Chain A
Amino acid sequence: MQLDVFNAFRDHALRNGVLFYFNGYFSHNVIGAMGDTLRHRLEAQGTKGAVTRRVFSTFIEMAQNILNYGVDAERPEQGGQMSLGAVAIGELGDQFYIICGNHIDQAHVDRVREKLEAIRSMSNDEIKQAYKQQLRSQDHEEDPISKGAGLGFLTVARDSSAPIEYTFIEDQGSPDKVGFYLKAII
C-alpha cells in the first residue's frame, strides 16, 4: 500500500468515527490485548462506566465468537486456537457501534439466522426473559455445535440500544463457507 493510500484509509476511518479496527488472526491473547486497549481508550475519553462495560462486553462476545466459530481457523487440541476475522469499533454522535465479520460454515447459516431473527423480534423485556430462561436451561449442554452457554447473542442484544443487524455474504470462491457480518449499536 502506498503511504498516501494508507493516509486516505486512515482519514476515511476517522471520519466514520472508527476508534479501533483489526483484521487478522484472533487468538485469546490478541482479544485480551485489544480489550485492554479498548477499555483504556474509552476510559481516557471519559465514557461512562456502564457504557464502557457494554461496549467492552459486546466486543468480547463478538471476538470470542470469531475465535470459536470462524472457519478460517487453526484449533490445536492443546489450546492456542486462532481464527481469521475482522472487527471495528466506532463512535458516531452519542452512540458506539461494534461490527465484526468472519467466515462461518455454510451449514450453520440457517441456524444463526433463526437465532438472530428471533432475538431481533424481541422487546427489551423479552430479551431479558429469554436470557434468564437460557441461563436456567440445561438443554444447551446437549447442543453439539455451541461451545458456550447459548447466551452470546442474547448478551449482545441485552447490551445494545437497537436490534442487532446482520448479513451473510456468499463467497464465490468457496461455496462451503459464508461471510457473516454482525453489527451492534450501544
Chain B
Amino acid sequence: MQDLHIAASGTSPEVDFRFSSHRLALIGESYPENAAAFYGPVIEALREYLAQANGQRIEVHVELRYFNSSSTKVLFNIFDLLNSATGSNEVVLHWYHDEEDDTILEFGNDLHEDFPSINYIPMAIVA
C-alpha cells in the first residue's frame, strides 16, 4: 500500500509512515485545532496497513516535543492498534523524550505497562 507523508506544521507533527519499509514515524509538535480530524486519516491508513501486515518487524519512532490532551488520547488509540498487531508481527517502539523532562517518558512508560507486547525502547534526547 502507499506510504503516507504529511508535512509538519507549527502545531501538528510530521507523519512519515513508510508502510513499504515497515517504518512509521511521528515527529514534532502535536496540538492541532482538532486532533480527531488531523489523526483520522492517519489512523485509517494505519488500520489498513496493519490488517495486511504479517510476520513483519514494524519500527515505530515517536519523537514528539509536546502533545496536548486530545492528542494524548489519539496516541493511546494508535498504540492500542499497534499492540493488537503484535500477534503476527514484531512491533518496536522508539519513544523519544527530553532527558530533563519526565512527563513524556512517564507517558511512554504507561504505554509500555498497558501494551507490554510492544517492544518499548525509551530514547533520551540530550538537550
Residue ranges of A at the interface with B (Cβ–Cβ < 8 Å): 28, 32, 35-36, 48-50, 53-54, 56-57, 60-61, 64, 67, 79, 81, 132, 135-136, 140, 147-149, 151-152, 154-155, 158-159
Give the docked Cα–Cα distance between A148 and B37 (Å). 12
Q: Are A151 and B110 in contact, with the CB atoms below 8 A?
A: no
Shortest Cβ gap from B106 to chain A (Å): 8
Stretch among B69-77, B81-89, B116-124 lining the A interface:
B69-77
With beta carbons under 8 angstroms apart, the residue of A28, A67, A155 that contacts B11 is: A28
- 22 residue pairs from A and B, CB less than 8 Å apart: A36-B10, A50-B100, A50-B102, A53-B103, A57-B66, A57-B68, A60-B66, A60-B68, A61-B68, A61-B69, A64-B70, A132-B110, A135-B76, A140-B73, A147-B70, A148-B35, A149-B70, A152-B69, A155-B69, A155-B72, A158-B103, A159-B103
Contact with A along B92-125 (1 / 0, CB 8 A): 0000001011110000001000100000000000
- For B76, the chain A residues whose CB sits under 8 A away are 135-136
Q: Which has the most chain A C-beta neighbours within 10 Å: B66, B74, B98, B114? A: B66
Contact of A64 among B68, B98, B101, B103 (CB under 8 A): B68
Query: Which residue of chain B is the closest to A148 with respect to CB atoms?
Result: B70
Interface of chain A, helix or strand or loop or mixed? helix
**Would you give the shortest CB distance from B118 to chain A, in whole angstroms?**
16
Is there an interface contact between B66 and A149, defined as CB atoms closer than 8 Å? no
Query: A151 contacts which of B66, B73, B114 (Cβ < 8 Å)?
Result: B73
CA distance A93 to B98 in the complex (A): 26
CA distance A30 to B91 in the complex (A): 38
Residue pair B98, A49 in contact (C-beta under 8 Å): yes
Say how far A56's CB is from chain B's closest CB, in angstroms: 7
A64 to B101 CA separation, bound complex (whole angstroms): 23
Are B66 and A56 in contact (CB-based, < 8 A)? yes
Shortest beta-carbon distance, B59 to chain A, in Å?
A: 24
| A50 x B68 contact (CB < 8 A) | no
- Across the interface, which residues of A come within 8 angstroms of B114, CB to CB? 136
Name 6 extra pairs, CB < 8 A, besides A64-B31, A67-B33, A149-B35. Answer: A48-B100, A54-B103, A57-B68, A79-B33, A147-B70, A158-B103
